[in-house]
């Protein structure tokens, strides 16, 4: 493997590379619960280098429709400078407590003030809200400066790289899940995923750079077996791992636990995974489709079903990787790994935890969760 770290790249947050979209295709049917896109960005003659496990950071722009909605609600429609600032400079989707406190300070609404003073109630209220929903619920007429003072700076969004540069030297692939939810009858989209899945076209300039991720790396020895656990968009870096191992002719065995909601709607990269299984690149493939049967099946249920083999792979030196949702999945998978160590290794709870900590310290248990 070429040991080039992204830190050697000349492109960074302050000096991003102006890329463009080469390809965007849906990985899900229109009926899927959550839309997911495969995207490929051109690296041209940038000289950008990345390794499997790295992420791409992208500058995004907010939805012009949402910007107009906010301007209207605040009575600031027609302020073109503010319009541009809301589109390019400020977070206008995520509601954070700081926004709430600042907004309440000039809003003079007793109900809003009561919410600010009750952190538990505030958390519940904010669960399915974006900033625009707060503006609807608690109308006010802030000045341009008051509004801007409540808003944070727009952050880049990161996406795991879903390709190996060994196979595609001049492009980088991403797997983008569209965040979409309903708030009081209004369809709301995530800022970054909405931008990428919806508004980006072949002519859009995409300002990007690579973020080095040294804590999520394939084993240095290509003969080492790997177990990869990545439901949903967590599959992304494992597509890169598998491309890399295939391209380098790595002899190590590869076991993937993937999953999503329904095989017919959202089996992300299903054709590629099955082809890798058929050709032997994937030694084992276990896919959990959570909603294809009356009982929910998640990746950790399949892990537990395969406990003796998972334990044997670990005894044989396998590295284990987890990618995807941090809130629930990563913890549930970790609990299952501990249960496997207890059940198969005859360990009590504390030694099992120490064993897993040991694997972490040896970089044999790596997580990339968000």
Ligand X SMILES: NC(=O)c1ccc[n+]([C@@H]2O[C@H](COP(=O)([O-])OP(=O)(O)OC[C@H]3O[C@@H](n4cnc5c(N)ncnc54)[C@H](OP(=O)(O)O)[C@@H]3O)[C@@H](O)[C@H]2O)c1
Both ends of the chain: CA-CA distance in Å?
Answer: 27
- Candidates 234, 52, 267; CA nearest to 161 is 52
Q: What's the distance, CA 202 to chain centroid? A: 23
Is 190 near ligand X (CB under 6 A)? no
In whole angstroms, the minimum distance from the beta carbon of 203 to ligand FAD comes to: 22
**x/- letters, 285..314, toward ligand X (CB under 6 A):** -----xx----x-xxx--------------
The nearer residue to ligand FAD, 290 or 306, going by C-beta atoms, is: 290
Give the relative orientation of helices 80-88 and 64-73 as an angle to the nearest 10 degrees.
130
Burial profile 23-36: b = 16 or more Cβ within 10 angstroms, e = fewer: ebeebbeeebebbb
Q: Among ligand X, ligand FAD, none, what binds residue 325 when CB lies within 5 to 8 Å by partner kind? A: ligand X
Q: Among ligand X, ligand FAD, none, what binds residue 159 when CB lies within 5 to 8 Å by partner kind? A: ligand FAD
The nearer residue to ligand X, 129 or 261, going by C-beta atoms, is: 261
In whole angstroms, the minimum distance from the beta carbon of 356 to ligand X comes to: 17
In whole angstroms, the minimum distance from the beta carbon of 186 to ligand FAD comes to: 12
Considering only residues 25 through 54, tell me which ones interact with ligand X, judged by CB under 6 A: 34
One residue of 15, 123, 263, 328 binding ligand X per CB under 6 A: 328
In whole angstroms, the minimum distance from the beta carbon of 187 to ligand FAD comes to: 11
In whole angstroms, the minimum distance from the beta carbon of 306 to ligand X comes to: 15
In whole angstroms, the minimum distance from the beta carbon of 328 to ligand X comes to: 3
Give 17: exposed, middle or buried? Use CB within 10 Å, 0-12, 13-18, 19+: buried
Q: What's the distance, CA 196 to chain centroid? A: 13
The nearer residue to ligand FAD, 162 or 287, going by C-beta atoms, is: 162
Q: Which two tokens stand for residue 352?
A: 């099992």
Q: Among ligand X, ligand FAD, none, what binds residue 157 when CB lies within 5 to 8 Å by partner kind? A: ligand FAD
What distance in Å separates the CA atoms of residue 298 and residue 288, rounded to the nearest whole number? 5
Q: What is the DSSP letter of 155?
A: P
Q: Which two tokens stand for residue 136?
A: 């609807």
Site of interaction with ligand FAD (CB under 6 A): 55, 93-94, 128, 157-160, 175-177, 179, 181, 190-194, 233, 236, 368, 370
**x/- letters, 226..265, toward ligand X (CB under 6 A):** -----xxxx------------------------xxx----
Count how many residues are written for the chain. 370
Grouping H, G, I as helix, E, B as strand and the rest as coil, residue 102 is helix
Grouping H, G, I as helix, E, B as strand and the rest as coil, residue 13 is coil
């Amino acid at each position: 493997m070429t040991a080039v770290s992204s830190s050697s790249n000349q492109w960074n947050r302050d000096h991003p590379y102006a890329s463009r979209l080469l390809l965007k295709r849906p990985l899900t049917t229109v009926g899927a619960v959550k839309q997911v896109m495969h995207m490929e960005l051109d690296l041209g003659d940038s000289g950008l280098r990345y390794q499997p496990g790295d992420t791409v950071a992208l500058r995004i722009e907010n939805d012009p429709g949402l910007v107009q909605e906010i301007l209207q609600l605040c009575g600031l429609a027609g302020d073109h400078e503010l319009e541009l600032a809301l589109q390019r400079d400020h977070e206008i989707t995520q509601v954070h407590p700081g926004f709430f406190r600042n907004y309440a300070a000039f809003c003079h609404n007793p109900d809003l003030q009561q919410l600010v003073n009750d952190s538990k109630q505030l958390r519940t209220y904010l669960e399915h809200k974006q900033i625009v929903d707060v503006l609807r619920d608690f109308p006010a007429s802030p000045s341009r400066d008051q509004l801007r003072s409540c808003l944070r700076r727009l952050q880049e969004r990161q996406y795991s790289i879903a390709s190996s540069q060994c196979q595609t030297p001049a492009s980088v692939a991403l797997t983008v899940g569209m965040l979409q939810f309903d708030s009081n009858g209004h369809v709301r989209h995530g800022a970054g995923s909405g931008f990428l899945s919806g508004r980006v076209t072949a002519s859009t300039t995409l300002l990007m750079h690579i973020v080095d991720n040294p804590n999520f790396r394939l084993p240095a020895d290509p003969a080492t077996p790997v177990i990869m656990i990545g439901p949903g968009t967590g599959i992304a870096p494992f597509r890169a791992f598998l491309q890399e191992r295939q391209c380098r002719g790595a002899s190590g065995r590869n076991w993937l636990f993937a999953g999503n909601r329904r095989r017919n709607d959202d089996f992300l990269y299903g054709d590629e995974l099955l082809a890798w299984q058929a050709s032997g690149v994937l030694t084992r493939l276990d896919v959990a489709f959570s909603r294809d049967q009356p009982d929910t099946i998640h990746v950790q249920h399949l892990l537990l079903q395969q406990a003796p083999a998972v334990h044997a792979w670990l005894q044989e030196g396998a590295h284990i990787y987890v990618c995807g949702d941090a809130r629930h999945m990563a913890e549930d998978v970790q609990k299952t790994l501990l249960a496997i160590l207890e059940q198969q290794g005859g360990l009590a709870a504390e030694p099992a935890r120490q064993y897993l900590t040991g694997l972490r310290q040896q970089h044999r248990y790596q997580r990339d969760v968000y």
